[in-house]
Structure 1
Amino acid sequence: MQTVFVTGATGLLGNNLVRLLLERGVRVRALARSRSKAEAQFGQLPGLEIIEGDMQDVAHFAPSLAGCDVVFHTAAYFRESYGGGKHWAMLKRINVDATAELLTAAHAAGVRRFIHTSSIAVVNGPRGALIDETMARDPRDADDYYRSKMQSDRVVQDFLRHHPEMFATFVMPGWMHGPGDLGPTAAGQFTLDYLRRALPGIPPGTFSFVDARDVAFALVAAAEKGRRGEHYLAAGRHIAIHDLVQIYEHVTGAPAPKRQIPVAVLWPIATMQEIIARITGRPALLSLATVRTMRAEAERTRFNPEKSRDELGLTFRPIAETIRDEVDWFKAHGMI
């Protein structure tokens, strides 16, 4: 790789991917909706070219794809879909339709290598099972965001079938944390809320916790060593929320909440939050979609790393290290 194009470059995953590529001497064209946000995220890094554009208008930035060896597609519409209300139109527009447009534009520009950021949303299994890349989720068992990611994958797979000269692979992250979360994402907001003592208690549920820097490594390794059309899990470590906040307490010194919040209590809280969100126009702090996902995915967050370990060389750093670096970054950027 000499020159690559990265969508979603200012996001948590995107900015860590950009930094990794630059460290390896690769020139990066980084797509960002806001040049000022990109400059706040990156400053003036050598080898970086900011391309101002939006996934809603691929044609606008398509000329910048020419001369690139690889497109890394990390952009997605996600956070808002868990902020209350219905978001299917925008989920389909950004996650599905725009992916098709990006593939077509990249191919027309001469790009033949496309690394797609998929999601653990596209796989599923029984509670407690070790889930691997072959265990496809039933579309009937998917919320709108999960459904958009499944359709996005299908777009890429269909393109590969019709273009045998094109190479694409899929990397499937879990719940990403880490430094560089300027947004912040819901994961970063969880960390900020913990530090501000804003968590009212410990809800039930489990996650697959992963450092965004490890996912960035997986994306680069997939471009270098991945097999055409294959999915690679980069889901991280299974952990219950109760155990996760104990690590937060150990790393930060801030006491973890003690009270357990049952799911039955979360439903009315989420309902009230969505009513407030509709009145104020601000996202719900806890939405009904979040509660549904938390309940549906509990104990379905054990993912088999064997394929990614063997083929990509992927390993996962300790959760405590990720939290420490995430907190230090928030402090350094005045967000705490």
Structure 2
Amino acid sequence: MSENLQNHPEGRQAFVTGATGLLGNNLVRELLAVGWRVRALVRSPEKARQQFAGLDVETVRGDMLNVPGFAEALAGVDVVFHTAAYFRDSYKGGRHWEALHAANVEGTRQLLAYAHAAGVRRFVHTSSVAVLHGERGALINETMLRDERDADDYYRSKILSDRVVLSFLDQHSDMWAALVLPGWMHGPGDIGPTSAGQTVMDVALARLPGIPPGSFSVVDARDVAQAMILANEKGRRGQRYLAAGRHMTMADLIPLIAEVTDVQPPTRRIPLWLLHLLAAGYEIYARISRRPVLLSWAMARTVARENQRSRYDPAKSVTELGLRFRPVMDTLRDEVAWLRASGMIPATGYPQP
């Protein structure tokens, strides 16, 4: 069941789900740096070998769709850091509710139950800014919860998975959990890549026909990893902690990516109506071909609905946890350096056609 098993010195034992993902692999590194022993749940041993080469990590092969299959690896664990989630395909055309619910909601429910049965009493859950909502331009905090009726399928799955965690706390007074809410994560180690890494690659490779509409809260995955660790150390039971980062529009972000990758940024603005038109065409293609597409109707709808709803108040995380955020340019430089070192973009930029 497990690989790279080694004898570790006495110390705190962390179990990290989604360990090869952008947040997961950075969390593994941050935990190791402060003296934790790490047991990493991975779906792909090959990705694990790429991500953790030279690191003292115990890997466990498993999937959130089959929690019983790896449940015995929860024995002896001090805290579970749950970063795994199904999300990519939900924005690549078609409907994915069954898969989203199975992994994000039922998977979390089973993980909590099996962890508790194994003696684990601490659980740090990766939530999302998707569970929050405010008026356009408003400063949003952890109390401003989204109505699940105003949510796409992915957002709804995150709302329900949060409820699973909080309900488990209600039913088990001996269990402790906190929830960390990241924004749009960028940073090194994006082996997937996620939409963030793909955006950087598209700018570097001159694939963007223009600047899309929309705003986001951009955060370094390493800062979110720190928020997870700090939540375990200093957080209060059942509390949400924002780790959302900085409000930016795509018009703000894309020129910064172009500067770091040494290419000319696109200057044409893509209007929202054209984004919806393109998404509708892609959606039809996705349903006919059953292949993923670059722009789905769900993504276009999310961009339109969430535009200027990406200003998040970090006061609670700063005050209670001591969380700090690094400059966006530092994040982008490290992300680009990692993508270049991994051969995912050229070592130097080249002109926009």
Q: When the two structures are superposed, what TM-score results if normalisation uses the length of structure 2?
A: 0.93
Q: How do residues 3-22 of structure 1 correspond to structure 2 at under 5 angstroms?
A: 3-22=13-32
> In 2, distance between residues paired with 1:180 and 1:246?
22
Shift of 1:280: 4.0
Q: Paired residue for 1:28?
A: 38
- The answer to whether structure 1 residue 241 and structure 2 residue 250 are counterparts is yes
- Select which of 234, 246, 258 maps to 1:225: 234
1:157 alignment partner AA: L
1:185 aligns with 2:185: no
Structure 2 partner of 1:89? 98
Q: Secondary structure at the match of 1:334?
A: coil
1:72 aligns with 2:92: no
Percent identity over the alignment? 61
**Structure 1 residue 142 corresponds to structure 2 residue 151:** yes
2:109 paired residue number: 100
What is the aligned partner in structure 1 of residue 327 from structure 2?
318
Cα deviations by residue, 1:89-116 (Å, 9 ceiling, x for unpaired):
0000000001000000000000000000
Partner of 1:58: 67
AA aligned opposite 1:15: N
User: Secondary structure of 2:70's match?
Assistant: helix
Query: Mind listing any 5+ residue stretches in structure 1 that lack a counterpart?
Result: none
1:157 aligns with 2:166: yes
Aligned to 2:15, the other structure's residue is in SS state strand
Once superposed, which parts of structure 1, at least 4 consecutive aligned residues long, lie more than 4 Å away? none
Query: Is the partner of 1:158 in helix, strand or coil?
Result: helix
Residue correspondences, number: 335
Q: Could you report, residue by residue, the CA deviation over 1:140-182 in whole angstroms, capped at 9, with x for unpaired residues?
A: 2111000000000000000000101100000000000000000
Q: How does 1:243-262 map to 2 (within 5 A)?
A: 243-262=252-271
Which letter does structure 2 place at the counterpart of 1:10?
T
Alignment of 1:285-300 (within 5 A): 285-300=294-309
State the Cα distance separating 1:25 from its structure 2 match: 1.4
Deviation at 1:251, TM superposition (A): 2.0
Q: Read off the aligned partner of 2:272 and give its amino acid letter.
A: V
User: Residue type of the partner of 1:92?
Assistant: H
Q: CA deviation at 1:246?
A: 1.9
Specify the SS of the correspondent of 1:55. Answer: coil
**Does the CA-based 8 Å contact 2:67-2:111 persist in structure 1?**
yes
Deviation string for 1:242-270 (max 9, x for gaps)? 11112123222211110011111111211
Q: Helix, strand or coil: the match of 1:246? A: helix
- In the TM superposition, residue 271 of structure 1 has moved relative to its aligned partner by 1.6
For 2:214 and 2:226, the matched residues in 1 are separated by: 28
Equivalent residue in structure 1 for 2:51, among 41, 47, 50? 41
Find the residue that maps to 1:76 and give its secondary structure: coil
Q: Residue 5 of structure 2 aligns with which residue?
A: none
Q: C-alpha separation between the residues in 2 aligned to 1:299 and 1:274?
A: 25
SS in 2 for 1:30: strand
Residues 25-74 of structure 1, C-alpha deviations (whole Å, 9 max, x = no match): 1110000011111111111312x100001111100100000000000000
Please list the CA deviations of residues 207-245 of structure 1 after superposition, one character each: whole Å capped at 9, or x if unmatched.
000000000000000011000000000000001111111
Q: Distance in 1 between matches of 2:41 and 2:258?
A: 37
CA distance in 2, matches of 1:34, 1:240: 34
Deviations 1:13-34 (A, max 9, x none): 0000000001111110000011
Is 1:302 matched up with 2:311?
yes
SS in 1 for 2:141: coil
C-alpha distance in 2, partners of 1:271/1:122? 26
Aligned mates of 1:165, 1:246 — CA distance in 2: 50
